[in-house]
Structure 1
Amino acid sequence: MTTAPRRGVRPARTGSSLPGGKRAAHHPLTPRRGARPAGRTWSGDLYAEALRAGSGPLYLRGPDGGLLPLDVERWCGGPDEADRSVLRRCRGSVLDVGCGPGRMVCELARRGRPALGIDVARGAVERTRRGGGTALLASIFDPLPAEGRWGGVLLLDGNIGIGGDPVRLLHRVREVAAPGARLIVEAAPDQVDERGPARLDNGNGAAGPVFPWARVGTAALRENAARTGWRPVEEWWVADRPFLLLRAGE
């Protein structure tokens, strides 16, 4: 995980298409000063080790000290039934925020759909590229290619918690999304609305640095969406994973 904003952000592979016919490699990126939320991210050694292994154990230790298991093996596999329900609802070019090892970006690429993954973990970006997807080493709070033109945005696997402030995150996603864009968010399976310091933990005595995080259930997500100009269109569950499809105002 990075502990401070980087001087630059690695561009995606040459030749990858972005909205408007642009090429990802033609977008040198330099983060705005103060663009990112304060604090660390979770792209540290424990996460890198889990990605290399393709499995955990890996946990998120929340503000209350409880351990939430992270499904690294699922993230490193192909799309499951729940993921496919998301893929069926994607329209236009898709930005996957916190893409991880890239199962969604790679599947969208295989389907011939323009897609870009962004992640602050170098190992996640490299794995996405090896799988045939296009990815940037970047935060959602960095300047990004094709801002204001993405037809779809994904916040899956708890990534509504990025930065520890869902309202700020949803505002930022509005900036990068096109008018009328679709945002698909995976909420927490319980009705929580919590924000605070978190860290990664491998369950064997090793823990990563503290970073800001949030967890929101469907009710809190709907409230946050209403405050940021996103309109709920559909809610569905697959197994124990709840999703909301939101639309941006025209």
Structure 2
Amino acid sequence: MSGTRAAARVGHQRTAPAAERAWSADPYADALRAGRGPLFLRRDDGRLLPLDVERWCAEADAADLEVLGRCEGAVLDVGCGPGRLVAALAAEGRRALGIDVSEAAVARTVGRGGQALRRSVFDPLPGVGRWGTALLLDGNVGIGGDPVALLRRLGRLVAPGGLLIAEAVPRPEVDERVLVRVTDARRPPGAAFRGARVGGPALVRYARAVGWRVEDEWSTEGRVFVALRGRDQPTVTPSSAAPRTPPPTPRTAQP
């Protein structure tokens, strides 16, 4: 793909808040370009939470493929990172779109043959109310530091009765809000932003509170997943409700 075409498909984004700036900063972008870490989230208490860059940049593994096998209709991968899931779906001829606030992540997804937009999940998005499945993996349940707000937003993005597959922290007792910074442990950490870490029980509790129904829970290769089924009726207002037909995958990543 030519550089011009790739740039066109990356698209643009509004001015980013602290979290979006942090995920677009050098340590994360450099790690994605190299395909390896070390990369961490540094908590305010000094603890380092390792980020699995090598797995994100590799091909979809057995746990990922099990998730993808459960997907229905057109798939929206929220926080797609370097695009292994979107690329795997595209290789099977399935419609999928990744969104990520990192330009490097979107560029890598596009380079692997996937479709991606540089957007926050809270930005205007194509296909609102028509996605068959939304994915929230690799710690992305912590986006924005408010799982309830995030799960409510996803309830508006999927079609009535649509599917959300979310990954929880593999420690059932975890339910915390944290202030973190992206760092490679070699350079000063970036801007602080709020995140969340939730285990399976907390994830299920928050999901039910905003209308999701638990369809399945499973663990594989040390990872914990929850499949959630959306409301049968749209959660958007009548004036903004969209038809139930699956959204087209955009040809370019223009906003």
TM-score normalized by the length of structure 2: 0.83
1:141 is matched with which residue?
Answer: 122
1:71 is matched with which residue?
Answer: 52
Counterpart among 137, 144, 151 of residue 170 in structure 1: 151
- Greater fraction helix: 2
Letter in 1 for 2:207: A
Question: What do the CA deviations read for 1:57-93 (whole angstroms, capped 9, x no partner)?
Answer: 0011234321111110110010011101101111100
- 2:22 paired with 1:40: no
What is the alpha-carbon root mean square deviation over aligned residues?
A: 1.9
Report if the CA contact (8 A) 1:60-1:198 is conserved. yes
Q: Which runs of 5+ in 1 are unaligned?
A: 1-9, 14-27
- 2:142 paired with 1:154: no
Q: Which has the higher contact order (CA 8 A, sep 6+)?
A: 2
- 2:198 paired with 1:219: no
- What pairs with 1:62-211 in structure 2 (closer than 5 Å)? 62-190=43-171, 191-211=173-193
Letter in 2 for 1:106: A
3-state SS, counterpart of residue 88 of structure 1 = helix
Moved over 4 A (4+): 10-13, 28-31
Letter in 1 for 2:203: L
Distance 1:29 1:52, change over 3 A: closer
- What pairs with 1:48-67 in structure 2 (closer than 5 Å)? 48-67=29-48
3-state SS, counterpart of residue 183 of structure 1 = strand
Identical-residue share of aligned pairs (%): 54
Report if the CA contact (8 A) 1:99-1:119 is conserved. yes
Q: CA deviation at 1:203?
A: 2.1
Letter in 2 for 1:80: D
Distance 2:188 2:34 in 1: 16
Letter in 2 for 1:125: V
Distance 1:63 1:213 in 2: 12
Distance 2:100 2:68 in 1: 19
Question: What do the CA deviations read for 1:69-126 (whole angstroms, capped 9, x no partner)?
Answer: 1110110010011101101111100000000000000110111111000000000000
Q: How many residues are treated as equivalent by the alignment? A: 223
Q: Which runs of 5+ in 2 are unaligned?
A: 1-6, 233-255
1:245 is matched with which residue?
Answer: 227
